[in-house]
Amino acid sequence: MPDPTQTAKPAADLALIEPVMMVIGGHKIVTGDVFAVVDPATGRPFANCPLAGEVQVEDAVAAARAAFCGWAALPIEQRAAHLERVADALEARKHDVAHLLSREQGKPAHSAALGEVGGAINWTRATAKLRPQVEVLKDDATGRVELRRKPLGVVASITPWNFPILIAIWHIIPAILGGNTVVLKPSSGTPLSTLLMVEIANEHLPAGVLNSVSGPGRLGSQLAGHAGVDKIVFTGSTPTGRDIMKHGAANLKRLTLELGGNDAAIVLADADVEATAKKVFLKSFGNSGQVCAAIKRLYVHDSIHDAMAERLAQLASAAIVGPGDDPQSQYGPVQNGKQLAFLTGLAEDATARGGRFLAGGLPEGKGGGFYFPLSVVVDVTDGMPIVDLEQFGPILPIIRFHDAEEAVRLANANELGLGGSIWSSDVGEATRLAALLECGSAWVNDHSTISPDIPFGGAKQSGLGSEFGLHGLYEYMQMQTLRLPAGA
């Protein structure tokens, strides 16, 4: 998941389209410095955002630390009630948040952006119902041993630009439910909607429980190395995850890292071409391909390769790509210019190596925006950058195979291991092969489907730890064994 490496310079003639500010210790913070946020539909700045410095980061950590003891002491039922009110408040402002989200991220406001905010609301409510369990490990004449879980302290959340609201909710809600306090740093590419969400949430949380700072990546490095931060939860690129791990080693921070994915889907010879193509299309190109667990490599058996590729190309060519405020748009632009250049380079390299684009393949310069069409490319193989690297955009390479075991070997050869899938009319055989995939999540006749009650995390270089459900909640809690005398 690439993230912008530098922040756009402030534009003196811009005013915030939404009066959003950072929140530290329950107070809205006004800073003298700002940076510009770019509209990916035009490639031009449309708003200024408050810019935090080292002082604001220090203040945010201190506020979270000061609020921790009181928040951790509250019964979990009371903490959950606060979160239910946060969900209600987001529900009341969902159109405001979705509009801002669409403007800075690029996804269509009427569908994907509103869907993301709705998903965040539902996720908040589902997570608020989780309860840590006391496990009895021993209870006999020699004594009783219980396994309990306690909050860790201050959690720093660093979020990416592809799902600014939903991923922030994935981070902060279990952290807060578990009794921790949070400092949230959104991507500098999409900070505004996240800051607005934090403002809304703070109307229903005690001061200091949830704090926000916005600015470039160096703020994340400051948080990762901060002695007052007990845990880092980060979603983003593998190289940045490694850097966070290095900085966090100073005080042995707990880490949850959801990193890059180059998910492989393997379509066996007996798969229904039409039904499979429709589902694979949705699981490849959702959010214009900017999804960690999207299908990014499609291995198709030789006997149905051409038919599958042609059908996917038809679906891609028919898709409407446009600005987020256009009701006709089904897919938006790529979020930033750096990612557009990366995709263009991959496409050009694939063409030079003999790849054929059946759909798309060249960026579309609509009004200066970061548009790349939904693209399907064939005659590519492992060893080419377009297959080996995570595209994180609307390009789907299709690789021909003859033997299913060999396809699994190729899928596993990549250093990343977030997700993978097998597609077949023989569910038993598909299940056998799915179990051989070296990834954190595997699906049969599906891909990238997730839910708040099922753990999700990466294998190999795709991350550490897990999110969602009780397993995810426990990532924000310290395990403690309690030894009691017999009969206690």
Distance CA 331, CA 286 (A): 8
In the chain, DSSP finds a helix count (H) and a strand count (E) of 15, 22
Active site residue 258: yes
How big is the CA angle at 236 (ends 230 and 239), to the nearest 5 degrees?
Answer: 90
Instruction: Kindly name the residue from 199, 258, 467, 475 that is annotated as catalytic.
Output: 258
Structural tokens at position 38: 């770019």
Helices (H), 319-372: 337-352
Tell me which DSSP letter residue 101 carries.
H
Distance CA 24, CA 67 (A): 11
Distance CA 175, CA 159 (A): 14
Q: Cα-flanking dihedrals φ and ψ of residue 89, to 5°? A: -65, -40
Distance CA 74, CA 333 (A): 44
Distance CA 229, CA 380 (A): 45
Distance CA 318, CA 1 (A): 27
> Is residue 435 packed enough to be buried (19+ CB in 10 Å), middle (13-18) or exposed (0-12)?
exposed
Place of tokens 């400051």: 222
* Residues ≥6 apart with Cβ < 8 Å to 478: 149, 150, 151, 152
Instruction: Kindly name the residue from 104, 199, 292, 390 that is annotated as catalytic.
Output: 292
Angle formed by the axes of helices 273-285 and 302-318, to 10°?
50
Active site residue 104: no
* DSSP-assigned states of every residue in 111-154: IIIHHHHHHHHHHHHHHHT--PPPEEEEEETTEEEEEEEEE-SE
Q: Cα-flanking dihedrals φ and ψ of residue 438, to 5°? A: -90, 80
Catalytic site positions: 258, 292
